[in-house]
Amino acid sequence: DAMVIQNPRYQVTQFGKPVTLSCSQTLNHNVMYWYQQKSSQAPKLLFHYYDKDFNNEADTPDNFQSRRPNTSFCFLDIRSPGLGDAAMYLCATSRDSGARADTQYFGPGTRLTVL
């Protein structure tokens, strides 16, 4: 049974055309994360939500935004995709993030192609 679901698995968009990637979870976890993974590179954290509290990484471009309308869903919005934004986008969840480490569970990812 899928616990972290990402739709679509593959997304093609045009240069400059806004695109939204979707993530949902059945784990009822408090924390949801979005990572960007470029080819042959490590995943890089873009931002995360602790419940409704949004936490942006310092080096995440303004072009990337996120919404979390409820516990189960989180969206990644790319306002004006550039060629350099082509990547795999991974969503992850954890039960309760805090000073102690908390295991993160990943979805299958959405591969974004920018034409």
| Choice from 55, 67, 80, 84 touching another protein (CB under 8 A) | 55
Give the nearer residue to another protein in terms of CB position, either 3 or 17.
Answer: 3
- Give yes or no for residue 109 binding another protein (CB under 8 A): yes
Other C-beta atoms lying within 10 Å of the C-beta of residue 95: 13
- Give yes or no for residue 97 binding another protein (CB under 8 A): yes
| Choice from 40, 62, 69, 70 touching another protein (CB under 8 A) | 40
- Give yes or no for residue 1 binding another protein (CB under 8 A): no
Give the nearer residue to another protein in terms of CB position, either 83 or 101.
Answer: 101
Give the nearer residue to another protein in terms of CB position, either 79 or 100.
Answer: 100
| The 3-state secondary structure of the chain, one letter per residue | CCCEEEECCEEEECCCCCEEEEEEECCCCCEEEEEEECCCCCCEEEEEEECCEEEECCCCCCCEEEECCCCCEEEEEECCCCHHHCEEEEEEEECCCCCCCCCCEECCCEEEEEC
Say how many residues touch another protein, by CB under 8 A: 30
- 46 close to 29: Cβ distance less than 8 angstroms: no
| Site residues for another protein per CB under 8 A | 4, 6, 31, 33, 40-45, 48, 50, 55, 90, 92, 94, 97-109, 111
